[in-house]
Each structure stands twice: as structure tokens, then as C-alpha cells.
Amino acid sequence: MPSPSELPAATSGWRDLIGLALAEDVGNGDITTLSTVPAEVTATGVLLAKEAGVLSGIDVTEAVFATVDSDIDFGATCANGERIDAGATIARLSGPARSLLTAERTALNILQRLSGVATVTARYVAATEGTRAKIVDTRKTTPGMRMLEKRAVLHGGGANHRFGLADGVLIKDNHLAAIGGDHPVRDAIRSARALAPHTMKIEVEVTTLDELDEALATGADIVMLDNMDTDKMTDAVQRRDRVSPGVLLEASGGITLARIPEIAATGVDLISAGALTHSATALDISLDFALNR
């Protein structure tokens, strides 16, 4: 089956990130390596998982090494989205020792963070088992890494919410306050429908069941249930099923891993969790070298 989780070859955003990261790490040169490792020494290396998790960013990692030195040979033995055990070999590398040492930290910083996101996502996804609910990300991503982190969410089995403010309509509390009046949900949906491109779905955030009813009646495509408790969400799902079965319901706000099973059981379609990206910690991965003499 096709998959959208590939780096777009045509745009260089992720290459810019590699350049930025190498520039801030390497700067005017790796003075330690240049003064202790002779230019002609070659080495082989192994990327090893130090803990279990889900891999993401192995292709970006390869690109980091290739950017530093095109003579580095990089052979991945695991794929993006693959579950890896502690101790697993992720990739084998060989090439000039200086280049491998210079690229090491930048490559690991990226791979560990992205795999951390994929790993935490997989935990959330596992907690939805047996339900229809999908785990989706938010815009609470690391500055400069949004595309890569959203891809890591896919690798972890989650799904993507909109990429940014320009590719989807999501009417939140502050927009409703700005519209004002007695029927802000209705009026905001209508205003967005009139002005946004016809290709965009209209999502609206509601905090009460009355607002939900108004959203369903006005033709919202997706309704975000903000900070509702489980009972209220169950009620919301029933109302939706009755009135507009095609509308998607998204649980949001105060989402923790512990609460996923009960929330998923309410019948909501989507559960969005900022923690997938804003609080993922690095997956422990190391690069071990052996010098060739």
C-alpha cells in the first residue's frame, strides 16, 4: 500500500535543517578530530538501539552523513516505522574516520528525537486497540522540525492533523469570541465556508453539547470536543451518530496516555495529543566505531 510518509524530494526544508544543525555543531571545524585523527584513517560504525522503540528518521540520518562526506557508506538495517529492540543494529557505516566522528552528534541528535516521537506515538496508538479512534498530532512541534516530527507520528502509527495554519480551518475559542453574537459557532462556520477554499474542511472546537448541536446543524466537517469528560464525549458521539454520521469527532485537551483507552472507547474518531511532540524524549541510540588500521 502506498504511504505518505516519505521525505518530499522536491523541497529542501529538511536539508536546511541538516545544514543548520551541522553549522551550529561543526562551525569552523572539528578541531579535536583534525588534530588527533590522521586524514587517511577509515572506520566502520554501527548504530545501536540502547532501548526498545520505533524508528523514525533513518533516511535523514543517512543524509546527515552524506552531507558531511559523500564517501561515507551507509547501510540501514531497519526501516522507518519499524519496532526495534534494545540492542538492535539499526545501520552499519564505513568511511573516513574524521568524517564519521564529525557527523556523529548531529546525526544522533536528529535520529534520537524523531525516534522518540515515533515511540511515544506508538504507545498512544497501542492504547486505542479495539476502537475506531486514531491518534493525531498537533501544531505543538519543535520549531523547524514540524514536517519531520509529523512524519515520525506516522511512523509510530498515528495520523496527522493539519500541517499549519494555511492548510485547514480550525475555529477555536478565540475565533468564536471574535465572531461574538448569540450563535458564534454557526456564524463562524458560515463565514469560513464562504471564504476558505472549497478544498478545505471546516473544523470547529466546542466545549458544550449545545455548541456541538449547533456545529452539526450548520454543517461542520469535524468537531473538536475540547476538555470534555468521558460521559460528555459519549453523549457527543451519540448525538453525532443521530444527526450527521459523516462528521468526525476529535477529542482534545488534557489527553494523557492513561486516559486514552476510556476516551477511545467513547467512539470518537480522533484523539489529538500535544505530548506526542512537545514532550517526547530522545530514544537512546549510540554509534560505536571500530577503526580500520
Consecutive H or E run containing 243? helix 230-243
| 255: Cα separation from own chain's centroid | 16
The reply on whether position 20 binds a second copy by CB under 8 A is yes
Residue 166 per-residue DSSP state: T
- Binds a second copy (CB under 8 A): choice among 75, 143, 181, 245: 143
User: Looking only at residues 165 through 204 of this chain, which bind a second copy when binding is defined by CB under 8 A?
Assistant: 165-172, 174-180, 188, 191-192, 194-201, 203
User: Looking only at residues 73 through 112 of this chain, which bind a second copy when binding is defined by CB under 8 A?
Assistant: 97, 99, 101-103, 105-106, 108-110, 112
Q: Which is nearer to a second copy, 231 or 272 (CB)?
A: 272
The helix-helix angle for 13-26 and 97-126 (nearest 10°) equals: 130
- Binds a second copy (CB under 8 A): choice among 9, 75, 182, 258: 9
The reply on whether position 161 binds a second copy by CB under 8 A is yes
Rounded Cα–Cα distance for residues 131 and 237 (Å): 13
User: Looking only at residues 24 through 63 of this chain, which bind a second copy when binding is defined by CB under 8 A?
Assistant: 24-39, 41, 43
The reply on whether position 224 binds a second copy by CB under 8 A is no
Strands 134-136 and 89-96: unpaired
Q: Which is nearer to a second copy, 43 or 225 (CB)?
A: 43
Rounded Cα–Cα distance for residues 8 and 184 (Å): 39
Q: Enumerate the active-site residues.
A: 105, 140, 172, 205, 226
Rounded Cα–Cα distance for residues 91 and 86 (Å): 14
Closest CA to 116 of 31, 197, 37, 51: 51
Q: Which is nearer to a second copy, 68 or 90 (CB)?
A: 68
Q: Which is nearer to a second copy, 123 or 175 (CB)?
A: 175
Rounded Cα–Cα distance for residues 160 and 214 (Å): 26
CB of 66 to a second copy, least distance (A): 11
Rounded Cα–Cα distance for residues 33 and 24 (Å): 17
Q: Which is nearer to a second copy, 168 or 267 (CB)?
A: 168
Please give the size of the binding site for a second copy, defined by CB under 8 A: 115
Dihedral (Cα; 120, 122, 124, 128), 10-degree rounding? 180
